[in-house]
Amino acid sequence: MRRHPTGLALCALLAVWLLSGVRADEPVVRDEAVLARQATMKSAKAALAVLAEMSALRRNFDRAAARAARARLQEALADLPDRFEQPYSDRHTRARPEIWENWPAFLRSAETAQEAARGLRTSSLPALRRSLPAMMSACLACHSRYRTER
């Protein structure tokens, strides 16, 4: 069987592209400040996921685990302004330039999220369910304004 040279070239180019491409779950840069920013956002997301899973009954409510998740979330959100203070952008970033173009507005959004995290109630499932929507709303509002879609 004879192989078409164009087909072989396309396969070779595809293989090179797939093997050399940046994976979405790998750090895009080696800059310590950027890696810290990514780690902070991943930590906040993981903590919020625990609380959301409990609220949705996909995970049993556990007061100690809920409090630990709230503490991790509060810690991550407290670090947020410091993590975003220095502008950084590359072809893989999801941060919009509006963060740095209107820094005071971004700081207000960060403070709103911090207040919502302090307002999370983890003493019981009903308390968590009442307080979690404010946290989710703060996250979504900030992301809709300062984060690009993929």
Question: Is residue 125 in some structural domain?
Answer: yes
Question: Is residue 8 in some structural domain?
Answer: no
Write out residues in the chain with pLDDT < 50, as ranges.
5-22, 27-28
pLDDT for the residue numbered 10: 38
pLDDT for the residue numbered 12: 41
pLDDT for the residue numbered 90: 63
Q: Of all helices (H) and strands (E), which one includes residue 101?
A: helix 98-101
Question: Is residue 22 in some structural domain?
Answer: no
CATH number at residue 73: 1.20.120.10
pLDDT for the residue numbered 25: 55
Question: Is residue 70 in some structural domain?
Answer: yes
Q: Residue 133 sits in which domain range? A: 29-146
Rounded CA-CA distance 52/33 in Å is: 29
- Sign for the pseudo-dihedral over CA of 113, 114, 119, 124: positive
- Sign for the pseudo-dihedral over CA of 50, 73, 103, 22: negative
Question: Is residue 114 in some structural domain?
Answer: yes
Instruction: Look at the chain and report how many structural domains it folds into.
Output: 1
Rounded CA-CA distance 76/99 in Å is: 18
